[in-house]
Structure 1
Amino acid sequence: MKRTLLACALAGALFVPPAAVATPAPAPEPSEAAHVHAAPTTAAVTQIDGVVVIGVAPIAASTFVTDPKLPRQPVPASDGADYLKTIPGFSTLRSGGTNGDPVLRGMFGSRIALLTNDGALSGACPSRMDNAMSYIAPETYDRLTVIKGPQTVLWGGGASAGTVRFEREIPYFDRAGVRAAGSVLAGSNGRNDQVIDASAGTPRGYVRASANRSEADDYSDGGGREVPSAWEKWNADAALGWTPDEDTVLELSAGAGDAEARYAGRGMDGSQFRRDSLGLRFEKKHIGGVLDAVAANVYRNEVDHVMDNYTLRDPDPSSSMPMPMASNVGDTSQGGRVALTWQQDRWEVTAGVDGRQSEHRKRSAMGRGNYRNMPWSEDARFRTVGVFAESHWHLDEANHLMSGLRIDRAEVDDLRATTGSGMMPLPNPTAGQQRSETLPGGFIRYERDMAGRLGWYAGIGHAERMPDYWELFSPNLGPAGAANAFAGVQPERTTQLDAGLQYRSGAVEAWASVYAGRIDDYILFDYMSGGMMGTTTRARNLDADIAGGELGVDWTPRDGLKLSGVLAYAWGETDEGPLPQMPPLEARLSASGERGPWSWGALLRVAASQDRVNTDQGNVVGRDLGPSPGFEVFSINGGYRFSDRIQLTAGIDNLFDREYSEHLNLAGNSSFGYPAEPQRIAEPGRTGWIKLNFNY
């Protein structure tokens, strides 16, 4: 079936409809962005700027788009994972106040492609203390696009769960001018944020600069207990662009950032999250012939992360790390992409090539700051090159066929001389070895009248994923009979059906998306007690079945009033029982309204209990801690628009100060007084905030 699927995808991606087709149907703007969104007609993001965003509906098949600059409830931590929770189907594996790991439909890690300005960014911590979203300041981007499932091949291989793109638009100026937007926020627990995004230019070019700073103290949960969770972050990015005309741009960009964060659920804190980025991109649209657009970019992203047990806490003499110690890890990712879009009559094809290389390094030492005197040791190197083609065939105004195919060649080098702890290193049986895999992927999807009153889509996709750094190098053990995880963990293969409906009639808009899939060689972590050595992890493969979906409805009973509801559920099963780390059934019910310059909103979030667990199974970050109870959290917000340029919003999250914790969670660390038995980290209690947005 998989070979047939890939053959169909290849035929669809490269097929040109016959010239006998009489009258071309209207097509969306022939840009790569429109093609990526797979919208049969031009789709706009409908938002009322005066209303705080408390949910996002799809604009096309499996595609969600929102503006990260808009106010949001609950007020987000300044990282990408927390902002993604606005989109149905997303949750976060929590570890404290910030830098949780994003989870989409129960899928985690590199199953989600995470891109910033179409460049890949990777964390470096072996246990993902600094996942890629830790380095993202959402409000410094113009657009967040999410494509669920293996329903595109344009943005890298292996993205079986979905693709996430934080994007900055080109600030083209038709005449000389200056634009600026920003915000300031203050809230409970010492929270204060500042964001500025400014650009100046002429029709021939522009300069743009964006920056943010965010900090918060430890928060108190609904029971009044203090949770170690403080953070302080900053980011700064700049771009210089040449625009000889409104359809052409050559842009050079650079950025940097740093942070520190306390973690209630870890034995160390993050005392440094240094990021340095460089990028160059070229885009040419509306060329005028069959070749309609060219897009190319190259990037280099480097992270330098320090975790220690002494900067933001005192070493715990009763723990496995009684003395001050630090670990310094880094990753350098560089790559590029070239894509060309052709359009003629009823068809569009985007094809190209992309590649990425990353090098991981580490060093560590006992004592305060002594790691700086240690040499770096490179332990892993990854290389991937892929070719792709994706097509959109406008059968007529209402019917559309999308398909795509990509093939990736992935290589991984094991550069470790030894494995095991720093006190008892062992010779690495796979030192100097290389693994290579050829990984095909593709999809084919049919859409019917998605811009009309009642539309639907159905598609099947396949993605194959090379095990990532955390699955090959972080576990203590590999599958039974294998020398280690590098030698034994196999690529993951996902085949998934995605389908959905959209309905629009008068005051009612509704949508639903469902999926069902089979994951061959799903990569699972077992957590086992290691006695005095702590917890031992084993990575291995097993087969899994997954299913679930999301449902949403918006009702506008009168002008200025909207009632909404969203339901999300994810399910997974293996031969050993429930697939671990699956979020529970969740519902969000909201009401929002406007009257003149005033706006208001209310959000009730309800999470069911989760008893479909497999205790001590999970992923590199977390494991199932056992069943979890359900909870309900109610939040309110209001706003006032002084003018088109200035808007004030305020809110109270967890209005009734409920004591609760998320199912996907880390156990509280004993260094902060949590008990030896696993106890989930509680979420913030009642939290007030006020935010001023402005633009010029």
Structure 2
Amino acid sequence: MRLTRVSSLALVILLQGAVARGQEGLWFRITDDPGWESVVDQADSEDEDWLSVHPTSFQPMPPPQIQFARPADTPAPAAARELSESLFGGSLIGPSLIERDRRSYPVGIASDWIGGPEARGRGTTDGGDLIAKSHRALSAASQHRNPIITDTRIRSSRIGRQPGSGSYWVPARIDLDTTLSKIDSRLLRDVLTISGPYAVGYGPGFSHVDFQLWDAPRFEDGPQLHGSTSFDYKTNGQQWYGRQMLWGGAADWGFRAGYGHRTGNDYTTGGGLQIPSSYNSRDVDLALGKDLSCDSRIEFHGLRLDQTNVELPGQAFDIDWLKTDGYEAKYVLEDQPAFDRLDINVWYNRTRLDGSAQRPGKRQQFPFYEFLDFIGNTDVRSVSTGYSAVAAWGDADDAQLRIGTDLRYLRQQLNEITSSDEFDWADANSPIPDSDLVNPGLFVDCRLAVGERWTLGAGARVDYAGATVLEDLANLQSLTPAELPLDSILGTDRFEQHFFLWAAFLTSEYEINACWTADAAVGYAERPPSLTELYAAQPFMFVLQNGLNTVTGDPRLARERLGQIDLGLRYDNGYTRGRIGGFHAWAWDYITFENTGTVPGPPAGQIEQVQLRYVNTALATFMGAEAYGECDVTDWLTPFATLSYVRGQDETRNGDFATRRATAVSPSERVDGLPRGYFNGLPSPGEAKEPLPSIYPLVSRVGVRLHPTEDASRWSVELAARMVARQTRVAASLLESPTPGFTVWDVRGYWRPRPNLLLIAGIENFTDRQYREHLDFRSPNGIQVFQPGINFYTGCELSY
């Protein structure tokens, strides 16, 4: 309750500052002028090149350049004139800063926009780390598996169910790599998170993360060549990062190329524990662009990621090596008689990895491995490919209709080879057999301004999704240490599954007056089970905080269905900016876990392993709230506060049946009339209702940013506290445990002594707090994963 009172008071104080600070917002205009122009006295609101923008901070995406202006009767603070150069990103950036082809998506209460340049100011690693540290990402929680591997959960979405971008990046193995761990945060132009079923262009889903890489630049003044050299260093774990970039081109073509290298050792917690978390990561990126004519262009992105010796505390395996190759090409044709814009995207993403459980750090974390005399290795191959074609009529800033078609193809194969001298099994495979999922779809969406104040958005899509096992069934007759066939483990031999899906949404934005905007959204979506959820044959996947889980799929899983409502208000008078909103969602046939068995271990016979099975629950509910506020109380001082909360509940935990695991003499079967988890051997299978697992608790950030009165691009300092409440709402039937609350303080700053030289520095967790997140591993024998203690970091970037 203390955290709630502090956060609420901070938000109220910030929002009350609006009364004294005027009613008009800032304006800016896109220009091809390569230099920064002075602030003009006033803006012509009838000129379509002038667009309102919130006075928060972001880094421009060159080209084009941005020059700022304001209405003459609004005494805006001088610091707001140079928003483009800040690396701490304020909040609530308007839709005008999002690329034109993405403005038709919701940008109100159910979405967050994060500028890529925040990655420099906050010293982030992968794309998930950028989302985790940005104050704008109200709806996102994160699990840090390693300093360079972060799993993003939008409103506590389930592990492995958060695809990324329109090119559909997915994890190869849901407990090791993640969608955004493939993308270095320095490569990102921006990230748009949509925390509900309010967009239809990304395929079937309940929430979406759309990230955009930097495109190749263009130079109207003729051929140019530029470069930058940067490095970062973090003391906790001796983490080094270096990046070399080159970009150039001319008026109708351009390129961007870069190489990045990260390396780190084990980090130290606030209590002095050494956590095995070393890594080595290298990536090469390439962007090419060519204007084929005045109204058409083609863009290409290529990415190669090589990671080696990545230790993952709290996970079954470490990554010995991982290789990802990603390719995306986009063709854009505009201003044609038949349509105003045509976008065609094609992509191909492939990830291969090998992992093992034999490193000394892993054995120290899991004494249970030594008890089993366990030897484990895993190899994974994953492919995501497809296309998207969208034709648009109209302008996203006024009225627009889009019609599109897309196709997503996923293929995955996972082998997990284990041995145990103590329990006499050798080279047993617990795989996800070679399988694929084909998903073609059609969609339509529109955005319409009704009068001067009201904007409506709507969309719908239909999909077919078909999944099957490709591997020869003769190779799947002796799996797991029990040497069982796949159909016996999964409980059925009907591996081929077909799903017919649909989705629809309606959004509304109403400008009550010059400062207040009311937002509302309602949506419905369906999505198929993943290949892991359908076909996993008891691999070790530590998908819950208690770890040491085996996971079993079920081809009989039904499609998930979700209906959601969002309501909210936004406020912006040019000095004070705020947002508050709430949501409620009903998920039918939501996929969760059943505890089908437990395994005790030494020294006291405590439960060390939980055997999980994917299962549909008839009804789950989600509800929560998010809020943000910030105020320019002076020309040099901007305090801010955020708040987010999600409550997830399994309303039908007992279900209609209990699952009996397969044995040497009988296949797995559903036994009707028994409560879910009846055969797990615990005194009670669980309550009729209980919280869903892995729901992040109430979290708030409170802080202040200092900046000069005349030129905010020169320097800025941010002091912030991240306060996380105790989580007591846990899934007891799955042996999830409560997590204490904590507060972590950070201070960050940057300085530009010259226009082409950037220096950054900061101290994370400067009180050296010993803490763990709710999603972090903890074992009944007392072994736990804690987050890093105090960490000093510094860096610089030289452009030329």
Q: Identify whether the pair has TM-score above 0.5, normalized to the shorter chain.
A: yes
Residue 330 (structure 1) aligned with residue 365 (structure 2): no
Per the alignment, residue 541 of structure 1 pairs with 616
Residue 554 (structure 1) aligned with residue 630 (structure 2): yes
Helix, strand or coil at the partner of 1:114: coil
Is the Cα–Cα contact under 8 Å of residues 56 and 88 in structure 1 kept in the other structure?
no
**Alpha-carbon distance between aligned partners in 1 of 2:124 and 2:398, rounded to the nearest angstrom:** 43
More deviation, 60-69/186-195: 60-69
Is the Cα–Cα contact under 8 Å of residues 598 and 641 in structure 1 kept in the other structure?
yes
Helix, strand or coil at the partner of 2:271: coil
**Alpha-carbon distance between aligned partners in 1 of 2:113 and 2:432, rounded to the nearest angstrom:** 41
Residue 387 (structure 1) aligned with residue 442 (structure 2): yes
Per the alignment, residue 628 of structure 1 pairs with 739
More deviation, 104-113/350-359: 104-113
Per the alignment, residue 672 of structure 1 pairs with none
Q: Among residues 758, 767, 775, which one is paired with 1:647 in the alignment?
A: 758
Helix, strand or coil at the partner of 1:471: helix
Per the alignment, residue 721 of structure 2 pairs with 604
**Alpha-carbon distance between aligned partners in 1 of 2:505 and 2:767, rounded to the nearest angstrom:** 46
> Residue 290 and residue 238 in structure 1: after superposition, are their counterparts in 2 closer, same or farther (change >3 A)?
same
AA at the equivalent of 2:463: D
Per the alignment, residue 499 of structure 2 pairs with 437
Per the alignment, residue 156 of structure 2 pairs with 106
User: Normalising by structure 1, what TM-score?
Assistant: 0.84
**Alpha-carbon distance between aligned partners in 2 of 1:378 and 1:499, rounded to the nearest angstrom:** 43
Per the alignment, residue 695 of structure 2 pairs with 582
CA-CA distance at 1:96 after TM superposition: 4.2
AA at the equivalent of 2:773: E
Helix, strand or coil at the partner of 1:642: strand
> Residue 63 and residue 534 in structure 1: after superposition, are their counterparts in 2 closer, same or farther (change >3 A)?
closer
**Alpha-carbon distance between aligned partners in 1 of 2:574 and 2:411, rounded to the nearest angstrom:** 54
> Residue 194 and residue 524 in structure 1: after superposition, are their counterparts in 2 closer, same or farther (change >3 A)?
same
Helix, strand or coil at the partner of 2:589: strand
**Alpha-carbon distance between aligned partners in 1 of 2:635 and 2:478, rounded to the nearest angstrom:** 64
**Alpha-carbon distance between aligned partners in 2 of 1:88 and 1:475, rounded to the nearest angstrom:** 36
Is the Cα–Cα contact under 8 Å of residues 567 and 587 in structure 1 kept in the other structure?
yes
Q: Among residues 244, 255, 261, which one is paired with 1:207 in the alignment?
A: 255
CA-CA distance at 1:682 after TM superposition: 0.8
AA at the equivalent of 2:150: G
Per the alignment, residue 317 of structure 2 pairs with 268
**Alpha-carbon distance between aligned partners in 2 of 1:458 and 1:173, rounded to the nearest angstrom:** 41
CA-CA distance at 1:321 after TM superposition: 6.0
**Alpha-carbon distance between aligned partners in 2 of 1:135 and 1:185, rounded to the nearest angstrom:** 19
Is the Cα–Cα contact under 8 Å of residues 175 and 315 in structure 2 kept in the other structure?
no
Residue 413 (structure 1) aligned with residue 468 (structure 2): yes
**Alpha-carbon distance between aligned partners in 1 of 2:130 and 2:594, rounded to the nearest angstrom:** 27
More deviation, 40-49/332-341: 40-49
**Alpha-carbon distance between aligned partners in 2 of 1:511 and 1:558, rounded to the nearest angstrom:** 21
Is the Cα–Cα contact under 8 Å of residues 276 and 361 in structure 2 kept in the other structure?
no
Per the alignment, residue 4 of structure 1 pairs with none
Is the Cα–Cα contact under 8 Å of residues 85 and 91 in structure 1 kept in the other structure?
no
AA at the equivalent of 1:464: E
Is the Cα–Cα contact under 8 Å of residues 644 and 700 in structure 2 kept in the other structure?
yes
**Alpha-carbon distance between aligned partners in 1 of 2:513 and 2:337, rounded to the nearest angstrom:** 28
Is the Cα–Cα contact under 8 Å of residues 162 and 170 in structure 2 kept in the other structure?
no
> Residue 267 and residue 228 in structure 1: after superposition, are their counterparts in 2 closer, same or farther (change >3 A)?
same
Which digits, 9 at most, give the CA deviation of each residue in 1:641-679, with x for residues without a partner? 1122211110000111111111122236xxxxxxx4365
Per the alignment, residue 145 of structure 1 pairs with 192
Residue 162 (structure 1) aligned with residue 208 (structure 2): yes
> Residue 594 and residue 645 in structure 1: after superposition, are their counterparts in 2 closer, same or farther (change >3 A)?
same
Helix, strand or coil at the partner of 1:666: coil
> Residue 270 and residue 450 in structure 1: after superposition, are their counterparts in 2 closer, same or farther (change >3 A)?
farther
Q: Among residues 769, 777, 787, which one is paired with 1:666 in the alignment?
A: 777
Per the alignment, residue 307 of structure 1 pairs with 355
CA-CA distance at 1:150 after TM superposition: 1.1
Per the alignment, residue 492 of structure 1 pairs with 560
CA-CA distance at 1:332 after TM superposition: 1.2
Per the alignment, residue 529 of structure 1 pairs with 598
> Residue 143 and residue 506 in structure 1: after superposition, are their counterparts in 2 closer, same or farther (change >3 A)?
closer
Is the Cα–Cα contact under 8 Å of residues 331 and 361 in structure 1 kept in the other structure?
yes
Per the alignment, residue 485 of structure 2 pairs with 427
Which protein has the larger Cα radius of gyration, Structure 1 or Structure 2?
2
**Alpha-carbon distance between aligned partners in 1 of 2:467 and 2:253, rounded to the nearest angstrom:** 41
1:1-16 equivalences in 2 (<5 Å): none
CA-CA distance at 1:69 after TM superposition: 2.8
> Residue 157 and residue 110 in structure 1: after superposition, are their counterparts in 2 closer, same or farther (change >3 A)?
farther
CA-CA distance at 1:121 after TM superposition: 1.8
Residue 341 (structure 1) aligned with residue 341 (structure 2): no
Which digits, 9 at most, give the CA deviation of each residue in 1:355-413, with x for residues without a partner? 0112112345569xxx99x9x99521111001000101111221111000001110000
**Percent sequence identity over matched residues?**
21
Per the alignment, residue 359 of structure 1 pairs with 411
**Alpha-carbon distance between aligned partners in 1 of 2:151 and 2:130, rounded to the nearest angstrom:** 8
> Residue 560 and residue 346 in structure 1: after superposition, are their counterparts in 2 closer, same or farther (change >3 A)?
closer
**Alpha-carbon distance between aligned partners in 2 of 1:249 and 1:197, rounded to the nearest angstrom:** 23
> Residue 505 and residue 401 in structure 1: after superposition, are their counterparts in 2 closer, same or farther (change >3 A)?
same
Per the alignment, residue 32 of structure 1 pairs with none
> Residue 377 and residue 600 in structure 1: after superposition, are their counterparts in 2 closer, same or farther (change >3 A)?
closer
CA-CA distance at 1:555 after TM superposition: 0.7
Which digits, 9 at most, give the CA deviation of each residue in 1:109-154, with x for residues without a partner? 4543312xx31122222x4211222211111121222222111111
Question: Where does structure 2 lack aligned partners over 5 or more consecutive residues?
Answer: 1-28, 31-49, 59-82, 95-106, 420-425, 540-551, 602-607, 652-688
Which digits, 9 at most, give the CA deviation of each residue in 1:67-120, with x for residues without a partner? 2233567643335355344211211134343423211111134543312xx311
AA at the equivalent of 1:507: Y
User: Normalising by structure 2, what TM-score?
Assistant: 0.73
AA at the equivalent of 1:334: T
Is the Cα–Cα contact under 8 Å of residues 215 and 288 in structure 2 kept in the other structure?
no
**Alpha-carbon distance between aligned partners in 2 of 1:312 and 1:645, rounded to the nearest angstrom:** 45
More deviation, 549-558/446-455: 446-455
> Residue 598 and residue 476 in structure 1: after superposition, are their counterparts in 2 closer, same or farther (change >3 A)?
closer
**Alpha-carbon distance between aligned partners in 2 of 1:468 and 1:678, rounded to the nearest angstrom:** 33
**Alpha-carbon distance between aligned partners in 2 of 1:465 and 1:694, rounded to the nearest angstrom:** 46
> Residue 536 and residue 135 in structure 1: after superposition, are their counterparts in 2 closer, same or farther (change >3 A)?
same
Is the Cα–Cα contact under 8 Å of residues 569 and 586 in structure 1 kept in the other structure?
yes
AA at the equivalent of 2:589: D
RMSD after superposition: 3.0
**Alpha-carbon distance between aligned partners in 2 of 1:435 and 1:397, rounded to the nearest angstrom:** 48
AA at the equivalent of 1:584: P
Residue 592 (structure 1) aligned with residue 714 (structure 2): no
